Structure 1
């Protein structure tokens, strides 16, 4: 009887231990199971905190209703004129501008004058979040030298009294005073994207 018990115990020990190859296989299985469990992705319960804290996505777009706009002359030379379209957040909350403004030259009665707005890549579009009272600017460049069949003995184009500027991704314009002389080359104005002023 003792012999049978001893043989039974030995058989159980051998079954538990197995051969060296079986032991290695069992170890591999255990390691693989642990590794795959650790690598299993955990579904996020909420969006990453960084996107929720990004002021450009947390605030709304700046609209004509909250922006005050002005065109400022910066320099002139050799028939070239340079200026800035400056917008200021007059609202009570932050808002964001990202990209290029629309711009249309107008006469005193509000009629459209020739305007050929061309976007320049420097600086290019980037979100600019404006706190209340903060401003952003876009660079402007145009010429006063007649081109093509434009007259040389009088202004090349009718001089604009004002302009309509549309903030990026919006449809309602702001009314701006122009008063910076005629814009030749068919009303060609180069404009950059907005940047923090």
Structure 2
């Protein structure tokens, strides 16, 4: 899943696009039941629509099958007003898609869709999460383009921009749920400046008992096929890489009560010199020895440096 391309930088996701759009997460089960976020559950502003078939070859088992256009844009409502930057809550444009799992394990997919004008310019990128797709199963869903400025060129196309997929049992927990382990592990959008990259790991105790970690998160670097990446040295601390990420603190026990969180940091440079650049789409994270693994997708563009610095767990401020 990681990615510093022009449409969706791996560290900033869609926030770095020239146009800023709220990501719409569409969560599905393997049987095809869909749930949209609350901001798009109101059907009181529904308007007549038309649809067009899409000739999309797709990517990694995901393809767009049709586009739907509202005959007029929905009017703003009290629950979904026009934002300060002039974006409406919903343009009335959506794309139907299908996900086919051709592997022999149950997978959770994260998919970036791009809505484009006739000349191929990206008008909006949106993300859908499709959970627990069983082997050989096909799940169908819909993703909306979201709000578009009045001067935006007409959207005429949609396609799959990026697909990442992880074993369902290792996927980050769905927002608002707590896994059996009692902890949630996730990454943030990160920060990039002058070739220095920093991505935060977040550990939240969503259970009912205290949870203690000490030292560094345990990492496995995985390639696009989720196979181990060799030749990268994982360092304790970031001092060998930069002093710009703050001093290296000594690891110490961190006990999290229910609802409390800790953070750790991944630090690297994407310098490219002689040799083959290394990209790491997936990182399997264990909060500590014996913890259940969670596979995240920070898309580490390590260049040819061969180094990744890891900061120890530190309790997050309330």
Scaled by the length of structure 2, the TM-score of the pair is 0.36
Q: Does 1:79 align with 2:79?
A: no
Please state how far the C-alpha of 1:109 moved relative to its aligned partner.
Answer: 3.3
Q: 1:186 to 1:104 in 2, by over 3 A?
A: farther
Please state how far the C-alpha of 1:107 moved relative to its aligned partner.
Answer: 2.8
After superposition, where does 1:28-177 map in structure 2 within 5 Å?
65-114=181-230, 115-120=232-237, 122-150=248-276, 156-160=277-281, 162-168=282-288, 170-177=289-296
**Map of 1:184 onto structure 2:** 303
Cα-to-partner distance string for 1:99-121 (whole Å, 9 max, x where unaligned): 11111221343211234210017
2:222 and 2:283 in contact (8 A); partners too: yes
Tell me the secondary structure at the aligned position of residue 184 of structure 2: strand
1:80 and 1:96 mapped to 2: Cα distance? Answer: 30
Larger Rg over CA atoms: 1
**Map of 1:53 onto structure 2:** none
Query: Which segments of 5 or more consecutive residues in structure 2 lack a partner in the other structure?
Result: 1-179, 238-246
**Which is further off, 91-100 or 111-120?**
111-120
RMSD (CA atoms) = 2.3
Scaled by the length of structure 1, the TM-score of the pair is 0.57
**Map of 1:196 onto structure 2:** 315
1:124 and 1:192 in contact (8 A); partners too: no
Cα-to-partner distance string for 1:103-154 (whole Å, 9 max, x where unaligned): 122134321123421001722211111111211011221111124423xxxx
Higher strand proportion: 2
Please state how far the C-alpha of 1:96 moved relative to its aligned partner.
Answer: 0.8
**Which is further off, 96-105 or 180-189?**
180-189
Q: How many residues align?
A: 127
1:140 and 1:191 in contact (8 A); partners too: yes
Tell me the secondary structure at the aligned position of residue 65 of structure 1: coil
1:105 and 1:68 mapped to 2: Cα distance? Answer: 19
Tell me the secondary structure at the aligned position of residue 109 of structure 1: coil
Please state how far the C-alpha of 1:175 moved relative to its aligned partner.
Answer: 1.9
Query: Which segments of 5 or more consecutive residues in structure 1 lack a partner in the other structure?
Result: 1-63, 151-155
2:209 and 2:308 mapped to 1: Cα distance? Answer: 32
Q: Which has the higher contact order (CA 8 A, sep 6+)?
A: 1
2:264 and 2:310 in contact (8 A); partners too: yes
Higher helix proportion: 1
Q: 1:189 to 1:93 in 2, by over 3 A?
A: same
1:143 and 1:185 in contact (8 A); partners too: no
